[in-house]
Amino acid sequence: MQNEERVFETFLRQYREIFRVLINAAEQVTGQYSVSFEQYLLLKQIHEQRNITLSELADSTRTTRSAAARKLRALLLDGFVEQEAKLDDRRVKYLRLTPKGAAIENDIRQAFLQSAAAWEQIPTSLTAGDINEFFTQYQQNIAVWDRTRPKFQRPVLRTKRKALGDK
């Protein structure tokens, strides 16, 4: 049990450090444009999927509808995104990038591509392809593990009535 505890603690420490480094690097790029990394992911998805709705955007970015709406609200107010109601059902609103939003999305994408080119300058025998392959394989392994791992089941609480012997 002690070995498993050590492995778990090491995993948590490495996860937090890797996540912190990656998020900080991403936020440095997007912060120059007054956009969070999460907001950039919404801009990118809207750019890639024309006429996407808020629900579809939330699904494709694997977030809740309310979280996507909060991030989207700032993008709407900043003039990066606009909404257009569907002609036959005014409740459905399509999201589109404005010219300003398209320019910001493109600028951030180019900045990320430039920073990815810096991977080649990492002092190691790894190439950018090796790093991409590692992340791809890691993501696939995690996906397999997530599908096959035993799911946590909350203990069923006995109701007061059952505790009293169904009286």
- Please list the rounded mean pLDDT of every run of 10 residues in the chain (167 residues): 76 80 85 92 92 89 90 93 84 90 94 76 68 74 68 57 54
Q: Determine, yes or no, domain membership for 157.
A: no
Read off the CATH number of the domain in which 108 is found: 1.10.10.10
Identity (one letter) of the amino acid at 160? Answer: K
- The parent domain of residue 75 ranges over 2-146
Q: Determine, yes or no, domain membership for 69.
A: yes
**What's the sign of the alpha-carbon dihedral 13, 19, 25, 31?**
negative
How many other CB atoms are found less than 10 A from the CB of residue 119?
15
Q: Determine, yes or no, domain membership for 155.
A: no
Q: Determine, yes or no, domain membership for 159.
A: no
Query: Domains in the chain: how many in total?
Result: 1
Question: Residue 117 and residue 66: Cα distance in Å, rounded?
Answer: 35
